[in-house]
């Protein structure tokens, strides 16, 4: 069961003013809700975009909390359960969350020689980035399989023409330019959140879906 949050950040992942982590969240309540679900809902209801670099069983735990007039950093820490065990930072308007106790996936640190796409929908840009990474791993690869919802046809990002950037940076650039979304490293031990576009490396959780 979940209740509502209030305290919108602005257009998409871009705040109206001031640091993202300092934005005030007027009200956030969760009742017997999984941490990951609560975090994504916080993003949907406030416009905060997330990049979750490590996922553990902790995100499956159910929480009950009630917060009034807190900043974004404090709210996120409360949902996670412990701020000391997580590193919370901002990259390209996306709030990165990393469990200090877990080794980060090497895939996020891979640098693509060149990533170039025209202005496109969020889902298409995400798909193109994934295929670019897979081809960088294995240039002979031809087939790709993933699972994706229709998405919001009005949510466009880019264009991008970037050389030598890490996958983490490129993911944050794409999501940070969108109307709102979250990406997380793929991990089968953590319950999924819908609607989401899934591939072998990461999952893109959409804040909006099927809109024309």
Question: Which H, E and C letters describe the chain, residue by residue?
Answer: CEEEEECCCCCCCCCCCCCHHHCEEEEEEEEEEEHHHHHHHHHHHHCCCEEECCCCHHHHCEEEEEEEEEEHHHHHHHHHCCCCCEEEEEECCEEEEEECCCCCCHHHHCEECCEEECCEEHHHHHHHHHHHHHHHHCCCCCCCCCECCCCECCCEECCEEECCEEHHHHHHHHHHCCCCEEEEECCCCCCCCCCEEECCCEEEEECCCCEC
Task: Calculate the average pLDDT of the chain.
Answer: 88
Residues 13-40: pLDDT tens digits?
866 678 999 999 999 999 999 999 999 9
Instruction: Verify that 34 and 87 share a domain, yes or no.
Output: yes
Residue 179 located in a structural domain? yes
Instruction: Verify that 173 and 136 share a domain, yes or no.
Output: yes
Residue 152 located in a structural domain? yes
In total, how many domains does the chain have?
2
Expressed as residue numbers, the domain containing 182 is 106-206
Q: What are phi and psi of 153, to 5 degrees?
A: -70, -10
**CA-to-CA separations, 81 to 11, 84, 86, 108, 165, in angstroms, rounded:** 28, 9, 9, 25, 32
Q: Hey, how many other C-beta atoms are within 10 angstroms of the C-beta on 102?
A: 14
Residue pair 171/51 in contact by the 8 Å Cβ criterion: yes
Q: What is the CATH number of the domain that holds 16?
A: 3.55.50.30
Residue 212 located in a structural domain? no
Instruction: Verify that 190 and 120 share a domain, yes or no.
Output: yes
Residue 211 located in a structural domain? no
Instruction: Verify that 19 and 89 share a domain, yes or no.
Output: yes
End position of a domain, from candidates 99, 116, 151:
99
End position of a domain, from candidates 71, 99, 127:
99
The whole-angstrom separation of Cα 45 and Cα 93 is 16
Instruction: Verify that 93 and 141 share a domain, yes or no.
Output: no
Bridge partners (DSSP) of residue 165 are 112
What's the pTM?
Answer: 0.90
Residues 88-138: pLDDT tens digits?
999 999 999 999 998 888 999 999 999 999 999 999 999 999 999 999 998
């Amino acid at each position: 069961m979940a209740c509502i949050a209030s305290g919108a950040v602005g257009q998409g992942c871009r705040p109206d003013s001031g640091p993202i982590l300092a934005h005030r969240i007027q009200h956030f309540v969760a009742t017997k809700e999984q941490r990951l679900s609560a975090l994504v809902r916080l993003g949907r209801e406030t416009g905060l975009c997330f990049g979750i670099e490590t996922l553990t069983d902790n995100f499956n735990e159910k929480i009950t909390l009630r917060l009034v007039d807190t900043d974004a950093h404090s709210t996120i820490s409360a949902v996670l359960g412990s701020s000391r065990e997580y590193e919370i930072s901002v990259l390209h308007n996306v709030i990165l969350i990393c469990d200090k106790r877990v080794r980060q996936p090497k895939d996020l640190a891979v640098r693509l020689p060149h990533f170039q796409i025209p202005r496109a929908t969020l889902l298409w840009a995400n798909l193109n980035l994934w295929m670019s990474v897979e081809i960088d791993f294995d240039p002979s690869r031809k087939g790709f399989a993933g699972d994706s919802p229709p998405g919001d046809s009005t949510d466009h990002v880019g264009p991008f023409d970037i050389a030598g950037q890490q996958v983490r940076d490129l993911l944050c650039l794409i999501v940070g330019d969108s109307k709102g979304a979250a990406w997380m490293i793929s991990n089968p031990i953590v319950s999924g959140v819908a609607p989401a576009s899934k591939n072998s490396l990461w999952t893109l959780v959409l804040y909006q879906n099927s809109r024309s």
